[in-house]
C-alpha cells in the first residue's frame, strides 16, 4: 500500500518535474560541495582560509533568508526558482573560468577571496531557490502525502547531491580541475528548464504591504507557535556543528585518512547512503514512532558519529559515522519539514519558512569559521592530527547537550 502511494506520487506530473529538477539541482550542489573546498585546498593548506570559502557559501542563510521569505510569498514561486538556477549557472561558469586559469605560483589570499565571493553568490541564489521549492510542494501534493513526498525528495537529493555528485567531482578533478564546474553549470541549466515546465495552481492575489510589516507577520506567527521556534533554534545549533565538521573533513581526509580527491569523493558516498536509507525508511519510522519519537531517535544518534570520527583513523569507521549522521538528519528533516508545511498557512509559508531557515541555517557560516579557528588555535599546542580531531569532539559535546534539551523540552504531536 505504501509503495503504491509512493509510486502514485511519482506519476503525478507536477511532482515528477519538481523531483527531477531537485535531482539536477542537487547533483550540481553535490559536485560543488566537494569541488569548491578541494580547489581551495590546492591553493592553500591554511584551515582558516579554506573555512572562509565554506563560510561565504553559507553566510547568505544568515543575511538573506528573511527577505527571501517575503519575496517568496509575493512573487511567482516557479519563476523565482528558474531565475535562481540561471544565476547559479552563470556563477558556476565564473568558477569554471577561475579553475581553468589557476597556476602553481598563484597568490593564495586574492584567489581565495574571489572564490569566496563566487561561493557567496551561489549561496544567495540557493537561499531563494530552496525556500521557494519548499513552499511549492504543499500546493501540488495533498497534506496526507507530505511525509512520503518529502521522503522521496530527500532521497533523490541525497542520491544526487551526496551519492553521485561528490565521487563524480572527485574523479573529474583527477582528470581536470575545471571539469566538475562544467557539469555543475549543466545541472543548474537542466533544473531551470524542468521548473520552467512546471505548472502550479494559481494563488490568490497577494496584497503587498511594507517589507518590515510582512516580516513581522511571519515572526508573530512563529512566536505564537513555540514548538516550531524551538525546532528552528535547535536546528541552528545542529547545523553549526555539522558545518564545522564538514568544513574540516576535507583536511581530515587528506592529513589523517591519507585520501586523494577520488577517495574523498567515495567517502562522501557513505553519507549519501545514510541519506538514502533515511529517505526510504524514514516515513515508516515516523509512522511507527510518531513525530516526537522519531525526533528523539534522531537526537540520540547525532552525537555518535562525531565521537567516532574524533577517535579514529579508519576510513571505514569514518564512513559508518557519516552514514549514521546523515540517516539521523533525514529522520529529523522528514518530521520537521512536513510538520511545518502542514501547520503554516500558505500565505505565510514563505516568510515563516525563511525565518525558520534563518535560525536553522544562519548558524552554518559561524560553524564553518569555528572549524577553521579551532584547528588554527589547537595546532600549535596539539599538532596537526590532534588539532583536526578537536572540532569533532566539540561537535559531539554540543549534540549530546541538544539531545538532553530535546528530550526534556521538545513537544510535538504523536
Domain ranges of the chain: 15-198+210-409
State the pLDDT at residue 303: 94
Predicted confidence band at 12 (pLDDT cuts at 50, 70, 90)? confident
Per-residue pLDDT tens for 232-265? 889 889 989 988 988 889 889 989 999 887 788 7
| Sign of the four-CA dihedral 132, 139, 164, 171 | negative
Residue 5 confidence class, pLDDT cut points 50, 70, 90: very low
As a whole number of angstroms, the distance between CA 260 and CA 41 comes to 11
Under CATH, to which class is 15-198+210-409 assigned?
Answer: mainly alpha
Neighbouring CB atoms inside 10 A of 13's CB total 11
Query: What pLDDT is recorded for position 4?
Result: 45
Q: Worst-scoring range by mean pLDDT, 94-108, 182-196, 399-413?
A: 94-108
Q: Is the pTM of this model over 0.75?
A: no
- Please give the average per-residue pLDDT across 402-413, as a whole number: 81
Whether the per-residue pLDDT at 9 is higher than 60: the answer is no
pLDDT tens readout for residues 108-141: 778 888 888 999 999 899 888 888 887 787 777 7
Contact criterion met (CB below 8 Å) for 412 and 339: yes
Mean pLDDT of the 28-55 span: 81
Rounded Cα–Cα distance for residues 80 and 72 (Å) = 8
Terminal Cα distance for the chain, rounded: 22
Give the chain's length: 414
Higher per-residue pLDDT: 340 or 162: 340
Amino acid at each position: 500500500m505504501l509503495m503504491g502511494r509512493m509510486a502514485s506520487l511519482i506519476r503525478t506530473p507536477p511532482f515528477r518535474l519538481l523531483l527531477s529538477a531537485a535531482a539536477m539541482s542537487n547533483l550540481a550542489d553535490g559536485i560543488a560541495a566537494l569541488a569548491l573546498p578541494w580547489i581551495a585546498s590546492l591553493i592553500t593548506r591554511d584551515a582558516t582560509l579554506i573555512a572562509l570559502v565554506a563560510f561565504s557559501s553559507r553566510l547568505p542563510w544568515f543575511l538573506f533568508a528573511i527577505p527571501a521569505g517575503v519575496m517568496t510569498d509575493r512573487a511567482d514561486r516557479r519563476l523565482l526558482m528558474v531565475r535562481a538556477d540561471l544565476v547559479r549557472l552563470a556563477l558556476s561558469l565564473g568558477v569554471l573560468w577561475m579553475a581553468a586559469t589557476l597556476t602553481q605560483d598563484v597568490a593564495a589570499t586574492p584567489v581565495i577571496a574571489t572564490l569566496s565571493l563566487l561561493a557567496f553568490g551561489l549561496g544567495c541564489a540557493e537561499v531563494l531557490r530552496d525556500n521557494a521549492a519548499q513552499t511549492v510542494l504543499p500546493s501540488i501534493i495533498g497534506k496526507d502525502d507530505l511525509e512520503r513526498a518529502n521522503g522521496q525528495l530527500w532521497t533523490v537529493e541525497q542520491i544526487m547531491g551526496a551519492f553521485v555528485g561528490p565521487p563524480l567531482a572527485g574523479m573529474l578533478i583527477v582528470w581536470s580541475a575545471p571539469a566538475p564546474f562544467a557539469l555543475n553549470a549543466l545541472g543548474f541549466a537542466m533544473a531551470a528548464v524542468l521548473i520552467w515546465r512546471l505548472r502550479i495552481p494559481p494563488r490568490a492575489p497577494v496584497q503587498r504591504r511594507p517589507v518590515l510589516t510582512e516580516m513581522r507577520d511571519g515572526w508573530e506567527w512563529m512566536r505564537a507557535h513555540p514548538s516550531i521556534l524551538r525546532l528552528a533554534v535547535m536546528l541552528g545549533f545542529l547545523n553549526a556543528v555539522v558545518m564545522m565538521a564538514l568544513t574540516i573533513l576535507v583536511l581530515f581526509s587528506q592529513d589523517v585518512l591519507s585520501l586523494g580527491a577520488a577517495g574523498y569523493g567515495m567517502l562522501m558516498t557513505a553519507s549519501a547512503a545514510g541519506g538514502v536509507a533515511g529517505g526510504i525508511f524514514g516515513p515508516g519510522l515516523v509512522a511507527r514512532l510518531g513525530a516526537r519519537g522519531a525526533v528523539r531517535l534522531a537526537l540520540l544518534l547525532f552525537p555518535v558519529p562525531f565521537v567516532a570520527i574524533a577517535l579514529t583513523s579508519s576510513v571505514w569507521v569514518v564512513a559508518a559515522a557519516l552514514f549514521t549522521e546523515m540517516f539521523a538528519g533525514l529522520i529529523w528533516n522528514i518530521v520537521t519539514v512536513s510538520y511545518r508545511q502542514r501547520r503554516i498557512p500558505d500565505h505565510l509559508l514563505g516568510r515563516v519558512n525563511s525565518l525558520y531557515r534563518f535560525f536553522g541555517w544562519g548558524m552554518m557560516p559561524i560553524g564553518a569559521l569555528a572549524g577553521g579557528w579551532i584547528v588554527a588555535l589547537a595546532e600549535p599546542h596539539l599538532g596537526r592530527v590532534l588539532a583536526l580531531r578537536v572540532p569533532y569532539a566539540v561537535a559531539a559535546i554540543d549534540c549530546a547537550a541538544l539531545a538532553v534539551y530535546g528530550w526534556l523540552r521538545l513537544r510535538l504531536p504523536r
